[in-house]
Each structure stands twice: as C-alpha cells, then as structure tokens.
Amino acid sequence: MNKLKITAFFLFGCLLINCKHKEGEYHDVIEKIEAESKKYHDILMSSEAYIGDIETIEITEGDHTFLIPERKGQIKSYACIECHSKPLSDMQDDTPTRKAHWDIKVNHADENAMNCVTCHNGNDMNHLKSLTGREIDFNLSYKLCSQCHTSQFQDWKGGAHGKNIGGWAKPRAAMTCVNCHNPHQPQIESRWPVQFNSQKARERE
Amino acid sequence: MGEKKKWYKLDFGSKTKESAASSCGCGKTSGGCGSHQGPPPQKDEYTITADEFDKAVEGTMVGETRKDGFQQVFDVKMDRRTAFRKLTASLLIGAGAVQTSCSVVAGEETKEKAQIDWEEQFKGNYKLMTQEERNATVDRLVRSYQLRKKENIKMSSTDASKDVLFGYAFNISKCQGYMDCVSACVEENNQDRNSEMQYIRIHEMKDGNGFKFDEADDNYYHEVPAEGHFYMGTQCFHCDDPPCVDVCPVQATWREEDGLVVVDYDWCIGCRYCMAACPYDGRRFNWSKPEVPEEQVNKNQHYLGNRMRKKGVMEKCTFCIQRSRSGKDPACVEACPTGARIFGNLLDPDSTIRWVLENKKVFRLKEDLGTDPKFWYFMD
C-alpha cells in the first residue's frame, strides 16, 4: 500500500515537471515574449549604417520618435519662391505655351473636397498649409495627410503602415507619406509581377 | 597537434612543414613523402591527377553518409553494406588526398584543396563546435571558394545576440502581389537558378473565401492586384516549437537563441523528414546541384544562411541571417514596395513589430497545431 502511494506521488511529480514546455520555462511564444521583454536591455546593435545616403530628420509624434527622409532637398525646384516671386494671378497667362507644373494633375478625393489651395498657399508658396490655414513645413508634410487619413497616421506612427528604412534595430527610420504616394495622385497604380516561375509552371502541367 | 580537436587532422605538409614527422599524412616517419625534406621521393605506383581527384571527392561528397565525424562513424551500429560504403568513401578521399599530398607533381594549390576537403570531411556538427572551430571551418570554406572560383567571398558565423527574438508580421491588406520580395530573396540567398527555387510563395486568393490554399494560385502572371483577390505570402515561419527540428534524425537543423530555425548544410543527410513535418511548406530540397552564375552570387554570406549549398541538402528561409544578425532588414522586407512586411525584435517593447502585435488584430496560420510560428498576419 505504501509502495503504491509512493509510486503515485512519484508519477504526480513527473507530471508536474513535464507540464511545462520542452525548453523548460514557457508554454508558448507569447508568454515568453511577455516575460522576457520585462528584463529587456537595449541591445548594442545599430541599424544606422543601413539608412545609407538618405538625409533624415527626427520627428516626435505622440509616444513615437523616429527618423523620416528630409524632403525639401529632394524637390528639384525648391525653394518655390525662386519662381513664385509674384502673386499667382500675375504669373498666369492664357498664351498656349507650355506651362510650369504641366505634369501635375490632381486626382485626390474629389473637387468638392480638394483642389490646389487645400494644401498650397498662394501667398506663401514655400510652405504648405493646414485646413485651418496654419503653416506646415514641406519636410513635415505628413501633418497635412494626417488631417484626413487619421487611421493610416496611427498605423504609420506605430509602424504598421509604411515602409521601414534600413534595419530593424535602432534608430528607427521610416518612409514618410510622400515617399511612396504621389500627393497629387495618391492611388498606387497596378502593375505586373516582377517574376514568373516557369519551372513551377512546367512541373504543374 | 597540441590543440584538442574533434576530428583527426591530417597534415599534408602545406601548412605545418616544421611540425613533427609523425604527423605527416603519408604515415611514414622519414622520406617518401613530399612533406619531408631529405632523400627524393619514391616513384608513385599510380598517379592521380588533380581533376580525377576532384571528381572522386565530388562523387563521395554526394554520398549520404559522408558528413559524420570519426567518432560518430565508428560508434554507430550499421550493417555491412553501409559500413563498406562509408569506408570506401572515406578511403577514396583519404587515398586521393594522401596521393596528392605526396605527389611531387601536384601543385601547392591542389594540396591545399585536398587539405581543406579532408578537414571539411571530418568536421563536427556546427552546433557542437567551439568558436575556434567555427572560425576555422568558415576560413576553410572561404579559402576553398577562392581556390576553386578565384573569387573572394565574405562569410560570417555571427552568433545570436542576447535579448533578441526575431518576429515578422505580414499585412494582408497591403500586399499587392508584385512579387518583388520573391526576386529579392532569390538574389540575396543564392538559390538554385536552374530549378528556380524560391523560399517565398505569394498566394492569390479569392475575396470572401478565406484561406483556401488548394484554390489559390501562387504562380500567377497578370496585372496585379487582380480584382476580387487578395494576396498573402508564406515562407518559413520560424516556429518557436518547430516540428521540423524534432524529426531531424541527425540534428542538422535547430532553433537558434534568437528564434531563427537554421540548417547546417554540411550535416544534413537529405532525408527530407523536415520537409514532410513542416505544416507550412517552408522547406526546400536541392534535387540537383544548385547553380548560380558567378556574377550573381551574393558574396556576403553566413555559414547558416546563404552560403552555397550542395546537391541533396535541405534549405529554407533564415530571415536572411547574414543581414538580420547585423541589424539589417531581411531582403524581402527591404524589397517590398508596399510596406506589407514588418520585421523586428519581439523582446524590444518599443519595436514596430511589438506595436503591431499589441495594436492590430493579428493571427497566425494553423495556430491550433501549437507550432508557435513567429509570423503574424494582420489587416489594416
């Protein structure tokens, strides 16, 4: 009888030990992430080198601080006032010559909601303007987009929307809205896939 | 032979000419061998040319029992046939190597190649190697490539960092099916161009039908995104409890500390148990000798990653271990023009991958299997 008791006790003990995951400590990866990130120390690795030649600026939005590419240096004809030295009405003429910005067509929301002056200020061409008429720097154009696209803005800040630059380690760098979307025609065009696996096609014939 | 090694080291005289005579590969203590100074060597009874030797080595390398260290070979129970096969394979290499090393005709380079092949033949499992042994095998592989292809590669054996656990998230609403990731992956990881091996598959699925892999198309070629379809990618999910690792009879595949599931291509025997065990079709097998045009070879390599494989071994996505272990995004993440791919450190509470896991509605494929993949899907 005593022997039986001991055996039962032993078996129970074995069960207790084996209940946990093979590697010992955690039942699943979620539990492991939660537990191990409590004692997380910043790692020494840096992704800075992988940002490459991209000129960046640091922004802080809410709880998130990260780098985005600098914009003004990428706009060929910036500063705008180098041409826009006179008020717009003086610069417009009806002669059928090739006009500046001939290639820009606005296909963004509809005409009731948006036209040029929704974002540009005819009296201050060097800056963008918010819906309430406040000045927005060209480098921080995401502030303009986020006025309407609030959920995308939330996702972008957190890292669920948009493209990371370089590496996963710190410092975090991400593309800003206009690096992927043309602000005048933000819809991304459909295209063909870059590759086709002819071997796979042959095997499946 | 002062240092302790897990394999028997044969000295062909190309490296340690001044060492004791007893360590000579030919086994003689004086004369008769190219590595001894002294009387002229005996006439070889048969001479093996460098080409023939290479062929012999090549031939035995394909044999499925070649990658055992001495210990494992002799401690294992085996039938006569296997024993003979093993013996013949090793003898052929040994004989060839000794022959080459003792030949006065063979050049220094051939001798060095033979030395490298010998040591590679009897190296241990990567998991069990000390750091010096790892460095040594990496050096040998780099040198071997240099001797054979006249090109320099850069190979690392960087270990997992502390406080890193790699994870991946895939945005199903963002993927447009361009397949830039697939191409970038092939270029980065030196996959066989002949069989068009690809680690990533992008499945085109009908809206409203859910995940139906049997009805999905992973080799479409038309303008994308196609109307009424969505796209989702699969690859190795680097499970935290990987079934492929459990079934490997020789422990040639394992889970690293940072969560990457890797393969030691020199230990793999090509049984493909792991391929059968993987519920996600994450593993690929080299049915033929993988070939990559020399100018397309990615020379930035890792021992457990994109170094050149051989015929008859398994390979798979390693989250681009040669990139990720040094802080860079995997090639697929970098190539994706839509930002649908998110990669990062799961243990860092400030990482973007953690933000996605905590703020988006994420799920994993076949979660009920309990394999704990570290690859999450989500939607906007």
Q: What is the pLDDT of residues B156-178, one digit of tens each?
A: 999 999 999 999 999 999 999 99
Identify whether B342 is part of a domain: yes
CA distance, residue B221 to nearest chain A CA (Å):
6
CA distance, residue B16 to nearest chain A CA (Å):
39
- Which residue among B124, B146, B179 closes a domain? B124
Give A194's contacts in chain B (Cβ within 8 Å). Answer: 178-180, 182-183
Identify whether B12 is part of a domain: no
Give A160's contacts in chain B (Cβ within 8 Å). Answer: 169, 171, 342, 352, 355-356, 359-360, 378, 380
The answer to whether the Cβ–Cβ distance between A169 and B240 falls below 8 Å is: no
Which of A41, A116, A158, A86 has its CA nearest to residue B359? A158
Average pLDDT over residues B281-285: 96
DSSP per-residue codes, B67-96: T--HHHHHHS---HHHHHHHHHHHHHHHHH
For residue B24, pLDDT over 70 is answered with: no
The answer to whether the Cβ–Cβ distance between A200 and B177 falls below 8 Å is: no
B335 touches chain A (CB under 8 A): no
Residue A204 token pair = 């499946």
- In sequence order, the 6+-apart residues with CB closer than 8 A to the CB of B67 are B250, B266, B267, B268, B269
A133 touches chain B (CB under 8 A): no
Q: Is residue B107 located within the same domain as residue B180?
A: no
Q: Is residue B109 located within the same domain as residue B172?
A: no
Q: Is residue B118 located within the same domain as residue B171?
A: no
For residue B199, pLDDT over 70 is answered with: yes
Distance CA B341, CA B326 (A): 19
The answer to whether the Cβ–Cβ distance between A29 and B372 falls below 8 Å is: yes
User: What ipTM describes this predicted complex?
Assistant: 0.86
Identify whether B242 is part of a domain: yes
For residue B31, pLDDT over 60 is answered with: no
B226-266 pLDDT, tens digit each: 999 999 999 999 999 999 999 999 999 999 999 999 999 99
- Which residue among B101, B124, B147 closes a domain? B124
CA distance, residue A107 to nearest chain B CA (Å):
20
For residue B377, pLDDT over 70 is answered with: yes
Nearest to B240 among A29, A50, A151 (CB): A29
Q: Is residue B87 located within the same domain as residue B203?
A: no
The answer to whether the Cβ–Cβ distance between B224 and A192 falls below 8 Å is: yes
Phi, psi of B363 (to 5 degrees): -150, 165
Residue A160 token pair = 């669920």
Q: Is residue B43 located within the same domain as residue B170?
A: no
Q: Is residue B174 located within the same domain as residue B120?
A: no
A32 or A23, greater pLDDT: A32
The answer to whether the Cβ–Cβ distance between A163 and B337 falls below 8 Å is: yes
A146-157 pLDDT, tens digit each: 999 999 999 999
Average pLDDT over residues B365-372: 94
Nearest to A195 among B182, B349, B374 (CB): B182
Residue B241 token pair = 């409890």
Question: Which residues numbered 160-199 in A keep a CB inside 8 Å of some CB on B?
Answer: 160-164, 166-169, 172, 175, 180, 188, 190-199
Phi-psi region of A133 (alpha: psi -120 to 50; beta: other; left: phi over 0): left
Average pLDDT over residues B266-286: 96
Q: Is residue B233 located within the same domain as residue B362?
A: yes
Q: Name the strand (E) or helix (H) holding B361.
A: none
pLDDT band of residue A14 (cuts 50, 70, 90) is: low
Q: What pLDDT does A200 receive?
A: 93
Strand partners, B254: B262
pLDDT band of residue B30 (cuts 50, 70, 90) is: very low
Q: Is residue B365 located within the same domain as residue B279?
A: yes
Q: Is residue B71 located within the same domain as residue B220?
A: no
Average pLDDT over residues B337-360: 96
The answer to whether the Cβ–Cβ distance between A163 and B352 falls below 8 Å is: no
Distance CA B22, CA B30 (A): 9
Q: Is residue B176 located within the same domain as residue B105?
A: no
Nearest to B372 among A28, A49, A192 (CB): A28
Distance CA B266, CA B299 (A): 19
B356 touches chain A (CB under 8 A): yes
Give A195's contacts in chain B (Cβ within 8 Å). Answer: 179, 182-183
Count structural domains, chain B: 2
Nearest to A193 among B221, B352, B359 (CB): B221
3-state secondary structure of A12: helix
For residue B37, pLDDT over 50 is answered with: no
3-state secondary structure of B262: strand
- For testing the chain A interface, which of B176, B197, B198, B240 should be mutated: the one with the most A CBs within 10 Å? B240
Identify whether B219 is part of a domain: yes
Identify whether B139 is part of a domain: no
For residue B43, pLDDT over 60 is answered with: no
CA distance, residue B348 to nearest chain A CA (Å):
6
- Which residue among B124, B150, B175 closes a domain? B124
3-state secondary structure of B362: strand
Identify whether B141 is part of a domain: no
Give B214's contacts in chain A (Cβ within 8 Å). Answer: none
Q: What is the CATH number of the domain that holds B339?
A: 3.30.70.20
B178 or B60, greater pLDDT: B178
Q: Is residue B74 located within the same domain as residue B170?
A: no
Distance CA A182, CA A188 (A): 8
Judge residue A130's burial from the number of C-beta atoms within 10 Å of its C-beta, 0-12 exposed, 13-18 middle, 19 or more buried. middle
- In sequence order, the 6+-apart residues with CB closer than 8 A to the CB of B249 are B269, B271, B273
* Chain-centroid distance, C-alpha A114: 23
Distance CA B305, CA B309 (A): 10
Q: Contact B284/B190 with Cβ under 8 angstroms? A: no
A32-85 pLDDT, tens digit each: 999 999 999 988 899 999 999 999 999 999 999 999 999 999 988 889 988 888
Determine what percent of chain A is predicted with pLDDT higher than 70. Answer: 88
For residue B48, pLDDT over 70 is answered with: no
Q: Is residue B107 located within the same domain as residue B185?
A: no
Q: What pLDDT does B89 receive?
A: 73
Identify whether B157 is part of a domain: no
Question: In terms of residue numbers, what domain contains B295?
Answer: 166-378
- For testing the chain B interface, which of A29, A180, A192 should be mutated: the one with the most B CBs within 10 Å? A29
Identify whether B112 is part of a domain: yes
- Per 3-state DSSP, chain A is made up of helix, strand and coil in percentages (nearest 5) of 35, 10, 55
B135-146 pLDDT, tens digit each: 999 999 999 999
